[in-house]
Structure 1
Amino acid sequence: MESTRQLKIAKLLQKEMATILQQLAKDQFPGTLLSVSKVRVSPDLSVAKIYVSIFPVAKTKETFDFLQLNKVKLRGALGHTVGSQLRVVPDLMIYVDDSLEYEENIDRLLRGEGESPIK
């Protein structure tokens, strides 16, 4: 279970990363929507796992690869915005949140539009 401090820092990081990623999407990937769906912070506050939703799904690989290559720059930008509130900015681990795609696939299967996994 996460502590109150972890939850507060996760909420702060989610808000600020969302702002940074929106600006990045506007500049680097026009027509792409980047949103931070969830942030988890380690108990020692040294690592933040950031789950990013990317729409349209066709641009997921290209966008995710770009985020991975520029993780240090993203951490630096995050440090500029939260530097006055956090002593140490956590290392970023970025993951693609594909829960929406998974949910849509289940809905499609339930409607009978896809290949049934039950034969």
Structure 2
Amino acid sequence: MANNRFHEGQGPSQRQLRVAEVIRRRLSEVLSRGEVHDPDLNRMTITVGEVRVSPDLRVATAYVVPLGGKGSDDMFDLLKRNRSELRRQVSRGLGLKFAPELRFRLDETFDQLDETRRLFSDEGVRRDLDS
């Protein structure tokens, strides 16, 4: 059963990965070009780090972060306020039967990268790695 792929530990299908990347690129373009009719959202610089889609391709979860990592509450308010227009803009040209519902989550990978860099710069860790 394709709908149980995540529960079986198999991960996303190639189609899910392809669709997710197309959505990520399109959402990034829409946000960077200011294609949404909301000046508050257009003033904000938002990075779309990753998009994951459900097995049926009806839900796309975008992992986003505002430039500099500050103002995430405002960012989520603006994204929520403009969700339907973003959905319309992003789904244009996707060639899917349904326009995926967009959900937004904070992309914490940048924080994890900073923590990893901090750990690798620690003198004790560097000494262990060199030995």
Tell whether the structures are fold-level matches, with TM greater than 0.5.
yes
1:56 aligned counterpart, secondary structure? helix
1:38-91 per-residue CA deviation (whole Å, 9 max, x = no partner) reads: 111111111111111211222221112110121111101112242xx2221111
Give the match for residue 67 of structure 1: 79
Normalization by structure 2: what TM-score?
0.69
Give the match for residue 61 of structure 2: 49
Amino acid at match of 2:73: K
Give the gaps of 5 or more residues in structure 2.
1-10, 123-131
What is the CA–CA distance in structure 2 between the aligned matches of 1:5 and 1:107, rounded to whole Å? 33
Q: Which has the larger radius of gyration?
A: 2
1:39 aligned counterpart, secondary structure? strand
Q: 1:5 to 1:49 in 2, by over 3 A?
A: same
Give the match for residue 15 of structure 2: 5
Give the match for residue 117 of structure 1: none
What is the CA–CA distance in structure 2 between the aligned matches of 1:69 and 1:58, rounded to whole Å? 19
Give the match for residue 92 of structure 2: 80
Match of 2:48 among 22, 30, 36: 36
What is the CA–CA distance in structure 1 between the aligned matches of 2:62 and 2:101, rounded to whole Å? 10
Percent identical: 28
1:43 aligned counterpart, secondary structure? coil
Give the gaps of 5 or more residues in structure 1.
113-119
1:1-24 per-residue CA deviation (whole Å, 9 max, x = no partner) reads: 111111111111111011011123
Match of 1:95 among 92, 98, 105: 105
Amino acid at match of 1:38: E
Residues 25 and 33, structure 1, Cα contact 8 Å, conserved in 2:
no
Taking only aligned residues, the RMSD between alpha carbons, in angstroms, comes to: 2.4
Amino acid at match of 2:96: L
What is the CA–CA distance in structure 2 between the aligned matches of 1:107 and 1:4, rounded to whole Å? 31
Normalization by structure 1: what TM-score?
0.75
